[in-house]
Each structure stands twice: as structure tokens, then as C-alpha cells.
A and B are shown apart, each in its own frame.
Chain A
Amino acid sequence: MGFDIKRFQGDVDEELICPICSGVLEDPLQAPACEHAFCRACITEWISRQPTCPVDRQAVTASQLRPVPRILRNLLSRLCTSCDNAPHGCNAVLKLDSLASHLVDCEYNPKRLMPCEAGCGLVIPKDELAEHNCVRELRVLIASQQGKLTDYQQELTEQRLIINEHKRELALLKEFMRAMRVSNPAMRALADQMEREEVVRWASSLARARVTRWGGMISTPDDVLQVMMIKRSLSESGCPSHIIDDLMENCHERRWPPGLSSLETRQNNRRLYEKYVCKRVPGKQAVLVLQCDNTHVDEHMMVEPGLVMIFAHGIE
């Protein structure tokens, strides 16, 4: 439907008027033979009722309608019109072809989105701002998010169930493999690989640690007090069961590699410490130096499957 003729400055030529709506042509199309022009919306509506030209009743179908010539479009785009939001106070006078872009950010548009300045932070159409109630709107928001949260929680519970199911299955499979690996060398290789991958996965789940004071290292820790505490922490962090005992053994200098095995060698190799990639033992003043993380370190500084170093202090 066309633009109200009263919106335009000065006279509008009769040729630019839609014979159906009597407004100024909007997005015009013309009939093929007689070339009578109409607004797209108007002629589409008319042809849906009667497939003729509304002016001279020549037969016309919707697919025969054509865009109007450039000259007509240019004449239209040069017309000066007031803004749609003139009733709301906009005084802008625009060329018809720049009306659309003006409307997008006309500040008098009653539907323009505005942030609420009362503090709720919501963005609302300008004309709803007066009626806007932060508390009410936020309550609605909370209610909808509560609903979503409930949905997610339910989903989470279901997923947990499924995961537990999988874990059980996995444990069974491992058991099965352990039984198989004794007799079957291929299975042994496979199982070894799986164990290595498990260690890598676990290692990458741990946070990096930084040792600020290597001098705080305890080379002969107390079994009960210190080692048991570390073991529990490692177990909780998901340490694969096949390496945990070895790792615990490796808390003590008697199991450390040649480069670390005595106070003297440690003094000599101190500068190599910085090369270690250390992982945090959660909640403890201790670090893990796993072999899989430290393939770059000299052989005499590393043992399988890794070292545990307990400190008096100085772990970040």
C-alpha cells in the first residue's frame, strides 16, 4: 500500500499515484502491455481476486507484472516526504529513497529499542518504557531461567546415569582385558597403549605447578603422614590405578633416578630442575613430574612412570 500523499512536500504528479490505493506508489510494478503502474501490495491483492489490469481490464497475471522503468523509480525516489514518526515528533524531511534507512534509527520511533536506565539493564521498545517495571520483568526473566535450569538439571541427572552405566561397562571390559593380556601378546600391546593413553589424559587434566623454592624438597618423606595423604589426593584426581603404587614408591630418594638420588647429585643437577614440567597434586605441597610430560628431560633425571616430589613449602 502506497504512501499517504499528504506526507509529501508540494504536489505529486498524478502519474506517481497508485490507482488502487490512491497513495504515492510504493515498490511499484507495472502491467506488461498497458504499462499501468501500481504498488506491489495493491496489485498483488487485486490480481488475487481478478486477473485483469484495474485500469483498463486487460488480462494480466501475477507472473506478468514487471518492475517499473528506472525513470519512474527515479522520479519517485526524488520526492520529499516527512518521516513515518512525524506524529511522534520527528521533523525530518527525506527523499523517498532514504526513508527506509532513516526509519531504522529514527529516534522518534516509538518502537525503537532503549536500555532501561533504572538499573535492570533490559532493552525495551521506547513506548513500553513508561509502563516498564524492572522487578516484574526481571521476575519473568528469573522464572524462565528457573525453568531452563530445571530442564538442565534433569538432563544432567540423566547424563550422570548414563556415564555411570558406561563406567561400569568400562571397568568390566578392563577386567576382561587384564584376563586376556596374559595369554595374548596383541592384547598386551593394546592394553599397554590404553594404559599409556589413560595416563596422558589424566596428566593433561591436572593444573601446571610452579616450584619457587626447590630447596624445600623433602627427599625422605614420612610414609604414613605424608605419602598416604598424597596417595589419597592423587586417587581423587583420577590417577590411573596401574601407576599409583609406582608413583607413591617414587616419592622417596631411594627410588629417584641417578641424577637425583643423593644430596650431592641433586646439588650438581639443580639447574636442570627448571626443565621439569610439573603438575599440581591438588591441595598438597607436592608436584608430579610425569614421564609423559617430560620426554625432553635427560634420562638420568627421570624414571617410569614419573616422580612425586614433596615440599615443605614453595609450590604455586
Chain B
Amino acid sequence: MANIAAKRIKREFKEVMKSEEVADGTLKLELVNNSWTELKGQIAGPSETPYEGGKFILEIKVPETYPFNPPKIRFLTRIWHPNVSSVTGAICLDILKDQWAAALTLRTVLLSIQALLSAAEPNDPQDAVVAKQYRENIELFHLTAQHWTNVYAGGPNVILDFVQKVQMLTDMGVDENQARVALSTFDWELERATEQLFS
């Protein structure tokens, strides 16, 4: 790995560790290997959002050309958000693409991702299905996002109705995650979800 990238990441790692966000538990960062090329981050769901109370884990890959190119970051924790793929965890955020600037750091990038959870951009979606629900039925979107946060990120709000619907499908032999994706996609209408799953 290029010397400059390793040097920067080491320094940024320390910066994150000393930050108040780590002290108050909003951010976490750990190394995956000793070569400073891969890290694991964790952000807390912001308050007054459906993600509140959840802990979201991020995969951070540092390219050899860092900081001239942005780090590659995606959600490892599944999340229901217009700018994050519900399938792969890929994030649509301008600073991770063409708006990357060399002076940005792991800390500022993690905080930007956290801010993205508070302020979705449904007009520049990574996941069209989620974005459509966000635009057309914001209350249902909130509940779905809360449910996903509860199931995958350890959030506190159990949406009983959704849990039961998922249970019904899993009782029919459907994989739990597939059942949840289908139901979320079809606005929790059991019939349409079932139709799609068994067609």
C-alpha cells in the first residue's frame, strides 16, 4: 500500500478514536487487517429518525491511491433507506463519488453518512423501490425503516404487524430475509408479496 495512504489512515484512525463521537458512542471504528487497507465502522442511527437506536456497521475499503480517490464504503447492516441499496448496502453519496475531496477524512465521511440517514435524497436514489415508497407513502416508509432497524440493527421499536406477516411467510417455507424484502417492496400487502415470491 502506498506510504501516503497508510500514513493518512493511521492518523485518521487516531483522530476518530479521540473524537467526541466515539466517546459518546455515535461512531466506532476498528481495523480489519494490519495493512490499514480495510476497516469496519459503526454509526448510531440519528435520533428522531426511524433509525434511532440502531447500530449500523459499515465496510470501509481504502484504495491504494487514497486520499486522491475516496474510500469504498458500504453498509454491512441491512437498512431501508432511499440512498442505500437494500440488497447490497451500496451508498449513493456524492462525497464518496465525484464530490470526494482529499481533505475529507474517515471521521467526516462517517458523519456525512450518518447525516444522510437524517436527510434522505429520494430524488437521487440508490434503491428505486425504497425511494418510491418514501415519496408516495412516507408513513409506511417510516414504519418499514423502523422494522428493519429493529431486526437488523438492534433498534428498540418492534412493529408487531410486520413481524407477524414475516412469520406467516416463513411458516410457508420462505427465507426470512426474502419474505421481508418482498413485503417491504409491496407495502406490506401479504397477497402481492406472496404472489411475487411464488410466481
> Residues on A close to B: CB < 8 A?
1, 4-5, 19-23, 36, 42, 45-46, 49, 52-57
Contact = CB atoms under 8 A, between A and B. Distances in A.
Interface in B1-50: 3-4, 7-8, 11-12
A4 B103 contact: no
Interface in B51-87: 67-69
A21 B68 contact: no
A22 B101 contact: no
Given A20-B67, A46-B68, A4 B101 contact: no
B119 interface: no
Contacts of A42: 4, 102
A49 B70 CA distance: 12
Given A45-B68, A49-B68, A20 B103 contact: yes
Contact of B103 (A1, A23, A49, A54): A54
A36 B103 CA distance: 10
A54 B102 contact: yes
Contact of A55 (B11, B68, B101): B101
Contacts of B199: none
Contact of B7 (A22, A36, A57): A22
A50 to B, nearest CB: 8
Given A21-B67, A54-B67, A54-B101, 14 more contacts: A1-B4, A4-B7, A19-B102, A20-B68, A20-B102, A21-B7, A21-B8, A22-B7, A22-B8, A23-B7, A53-B101, A55-B103, A56-B101, A57-B99
A22 B11 contact: yes
A150 to B, nearest CB: 46
A19 B102 CA distance: 7
7 contacts: A20-B102, A21-B67, A36-B103, A46-B102, A49-B69, A52-B101, A57-B99
Q: Which of B4, B11, B12, B68 has the most CB of A within 10 A?
A: B4
A46 B65 CA distance: 10
A19 B4 CA distance: 12
A21 B4 contact: yes
B153 to A, nearest CB: 32
Nearest to A19: B103
Nearest to A5: B11
A19 B103 CA distance: 5
A49 to B, nearest CB: 6
A198 B12 CA distance: 86
Nearest to B102: A54
Nearest to A57: B101
Contacts of A1: 3-4
A52 B98 CA distance: 11
A45 B68 CA distance: 8
Contacts of A53: 101
B1 to A, nearest CB: 14
A36 B101 CA distance: 13
Interface in B105-126: none
Nearest to A48: B68
A131 B77 CA distance: 55
The 6 A-B residue pairs whose C-beta atoms are closest, nearest first, are A54-B102, A19-B103, A55-B103, A20-B102, A22-B11, A54-B103
A53 B12 CA distance: 20
A23 B101 CA distance: 17
B114 to A, nearest CB: 21
Contacts of B4: 1, 20-21, 42
Contacts of A52: 101
Interface string B124-153: 000000000000000000000000000000
Contacts of B101: 52-57
A76 B91 CA distance: 40
Contacts of B8: 21-22
Interface string B91-104: 00000000101110
Nearest to B3: A1
Contacts of B68: 20, 45-46, 49
